[in-house]
Structure 1
Amino acid sequence: MRRLDHPHTRLLALPEGSFGCTHLVRGDRPRVAVSLAVPSEPLLSTVRERLTARGHDVRDGLPDQEGRAVLYPGAAALTGALTVAELLIRSAIDRVAVLGAPGPPAPGTLLVTREHVRPQWRDGELVLTAMQAAGGALVPFEVPEPTPCCADH
């Protein structure tokens, strides 16, 4: 995954060190909300003004504590295959959790990114959920292009 390539990202000119997360909002009006965290208060004011000027509803706070990070420090460096240790050093991701495994993977375990690394916030940590792949490697649990029946999960 490269930086979040969306017209709003270019419009907002978000610098390295920014976080952008998606949140599923359920209820009477199901939708996806976006939360942004930027490195400074002046930049936050600018982002707020630009989004409001484009007609977006801007609110303080988070819709939930489990946001899915699509923009975070180091995301652009997570391409190809790299070890778990490299992933943790290059990015803001705090840890990797492997589905069905009793503990964390070894630091030298290979992770094939598929250029789609979307960790989630869990208990204040940015955690990448991964699953076993061929040859003992890992891949991120979230696939780059989910089938339509599963795209909203």
Structure 2
Amino acid sequence: MTTSYDASGVHPVLGVDAGTTTLREADHLVRALASTLALPPGTVACTHLIRTDARRGTAVSLELPDHASAANAWRHLTESEPPPGHREAAAHAAAEHTARRSGRAVLFPGAEHLTGTIPLSDLLELTAIDRVTVVGATSGELPAPTTPVHTQNHVRPEWRDGELVLALVPAVGNTLAPFEVPNPTPCCADHP
């Protein structure tokens, strides 16, 4: 496991590469780190696909709300020397998250409110998600704030151009659902 840490930023971001290869493994890593490191409320944890000559798989980024939490996590994560190629993947994940160019958020403020079916307005008002897009909708077309969203207890917004954006798809009965499903079919999931 390795990390990249810059204490000069407003919200410190750590990169972690524990050798996970799939998004599902990275999601489990995020949950394990949240428990092991006792990540504080306000933490944003993302997964990142890594495609380099040295490494194919996933890495994780952790944006912590304060420097003390980041320093404690940093000490814990750097107790062992990382395998070759993992340091670069961790640094890449941290850089992408810091720039808010990419990263699939697993933990983020308000995520605990995203269970069952909720109105779109709650999804936007109660969480750190900045906006939604509807796959297949015409440009500028937004659903009504009262539109039900079937969360499937699996909501993974992504950083895009500085915003945390959730991709939704139309669902049965004029409702919406996250584009990413919790248990994708093996033929389509997590291709390296």
Using the size of structure 1 for normalisation, the TM-score is 0.90
2:8 aligned residue: none
**Among 47, 62, 70, which residue is 1:36 paired with?**
62
Identity of aligned residues (%): 48
Measured on the aligned residues, the alpha-carbon RMSD in Å equals 2.0
| 1:76 equivalenced with 2:109 (yes/no) | no
| 2: CA distance, partners of 1:123 / 1:93 | 13
Q: What whole-Å deviation, never above 9, does each CA across 1:91-139 have from its counterpart, x for those lacking one? A: 0001110001122222111101000000001111111100011000000
Tell me the number of residue pairs that the alignment of Structure 1 and Structure 2 aligns: 151
Report deviation, 1:7: 2.1
Gaps of 5+ in 1: none
| 1:8 equivalenced with 2:33 (yes/no) | yes
Report deviation, 1:55: 5.0
Gaps of 5+ in 2: 1-26
Q: What whole-Å deviation, never above 9, does each CA across 1:66-110 have from its counterpart, x for those lacking one? A: 100000000011111111101011100011100011222221111
Q: What whole-Å deviation, never above 9, does each CA across 1:42-67 have from its counterpart, x for those lacking one? A: 11111111111255556483246210
2:95 aligned residue: 62
**Among 112, 115, 138, which residue is 2:176 paired with?**
138
Quick check: 1:66–1:122 contact (8 Å CA) kept in 2? yes
Within 5 A, what are the aligned runs for 1:97-108?
Answer: 97-102=133-138, 103-108=141-146
Quick check: 1:33–1:63 contact (8 Å CA) kept in 2? no
Residues 46 and 59 of structure 1: is their aligned pair in 2 closer, same or farther, counting only changes over 3 Å?
farther
